[in-house]
Amino acid sequence: MNFGVIGYGYWGPNVVRNLATLEGSRVISIADLDPAARQRAQRAYPSVHVTSCPTEVVTSTKIDAIAIVSPVWTHYELAKTALLNGKHVFVEKPFTLNSAQGEELVEIAESRNLKIMVDHTFLFTGAVRKMKEMIDDGSLGNLYYYDSTRINLGLLQHDVNVLWDLAPHDLSIMDHLIPGDPEAVGATGEKHLNCHEDVAYMTLYFPNKVIAHINVNWLSPVKVRMTLIGGEKRMVVWNDLVADEKVRVYDRGVNTETQEGIHKLLVNYRSGDMWAPRLEPVEALQQEMKYFVECIEKGTVPFNDGKAGLRVVRMLEAASESLAKRGALVYL
């Protein structure tokens, strides 16, 4: 399968490296507007065609699939042209600038039987796979909440706020792990340095009283990547910054018994063992690229397809709307 890659900045080299070493795929063209990036690409891959013109790549008849690793405002045009030229599309998160763009891309792909995969890389980590497994096999029981903190010092984006920059990770993981779709979104936050929020908080209401909360912050002196998932039977703490035992499962919780009378709820705390399952030491992006090639070859629908990307974009849109209304609930 011949690949063209658009964008060779921070993440692009990783995508190219994985496609280049993957059996069954080959990178034949790379486009980037920056001459320095093109030089780096050409030096690393002397036999690949390197160009400053993305259109050349997305329309090339020699190419089967396109990886779009360029800024979010370029996704829609590039993906649309690629799809209209019969190419499968792998695209960076967030999928598109808004849901209208995403819907159109999903429709075009479906009508032409082409695959879209949105780069929700975290779904392919050993940690998320293990949590997915535990939720699916009932180890956690009914879910209560999903609570994620993703903060650090860094103001990388001039075109989006901190929610669109950092929350796609949490939203795609949450979308993958929690059964059902959120019904409503509320978001609060504040701008301190420019016209985009640099601190923001997001609450999502799911059916069955499942609540999700996401704390993102570009102005934190310390880096935190911590997610708690509370279930009726067990609870999980995922700390992505520790070297070992990233996922810890706690056999702790609350046992409630039928109310006796009207004011009595018998509550017993359950404090049991903690268990840190061994996680597969895999490179997530490698797994993801391999899965993309397989989905194309076998004609199967990836779980992180355009619709998954679109769900995340809709949540971000709703969050932006709520943010503008200082937290008022927005229904999805």
Under the rule (CB under 8 A), what is the footprint of a copy of itself? Answer: 46, 144-145, 147, 149, 151, 153-155, 158, 184, 186, 188-194, 199, 201, 203, 205, 209-211, 213, 215, 217, 219-223, 228, 230, 235-237, 241, 243-245, 250-254, 256, 263, 265, 267, 269, 271-278, 322, 326-329
- In angstroms, the CA 223 to CA 241 distance is 8
In the complex with a copy of itself, the residue whose CB is nearer, 3 or 45, is 45
Q: If DSSP codes are grouped into helix, strand and coil, which group holds residue 39?
A: helix
- CB 17 to a copy of itself: min, Å: 13
- In angstroms, the CA 6 to CA 197 distance is 29
In the complex with a copy of itself, the residue whose CB is nearer, 21 or 300, is 21
- In angstroms, the CA 320 to CA 68 distance is 24
Quote the tokens at residue 295: 């989905």
Q: Is the peptide bond before 302 cis (omega within 30 degrees of 0)?
A: no
In the complex with a copy of itself, the residue whose CB is nearer, 18 or 203, is 203
- CB 297 to a copy of itself: min, Å: 27
Instruction: List 255's β-bridge partners, or say none.
Output: 268
- CB 123 to a copy of itself: min, Å: 22
In the complex with a copy of itself, the residue whose CB is nearer, 100 or 156, is 156
In the complex with a copy of itself, the residue whose CB is nearer, 113 or 271, is 271
- CB 39 to a copy of itself: min, Å: 14
Residue 10: which H helix or E strand, with range?
A: none
- In angstroms, the CA 79 to CA 102 distance is 10
- CB 292 to a copy of itself: min, Å: 25
* Residue 16 buriedness (CB in 10 A; 0-12 / 13-18 / 19+): buried
- CB 298 to a copy of itself: min, Å: 31
- In angstroms, the CA 85 to CA 144 distance is 45
In the complex with a copy of itself, the residue whose CB is nearer, 98 or 239, is 239
Q: Any alpha helices (H) in 72-161, and if so which ranges?
A: 72-84, 99-111, 126-136
In the complex with a copy of itself, the residue whose CB is nearer, 84 or 241, is 241
Residue 290: which H helix or E strand, with range?
A: helix 284-298
- CB 326 to a copy of itself: min, Å: 5
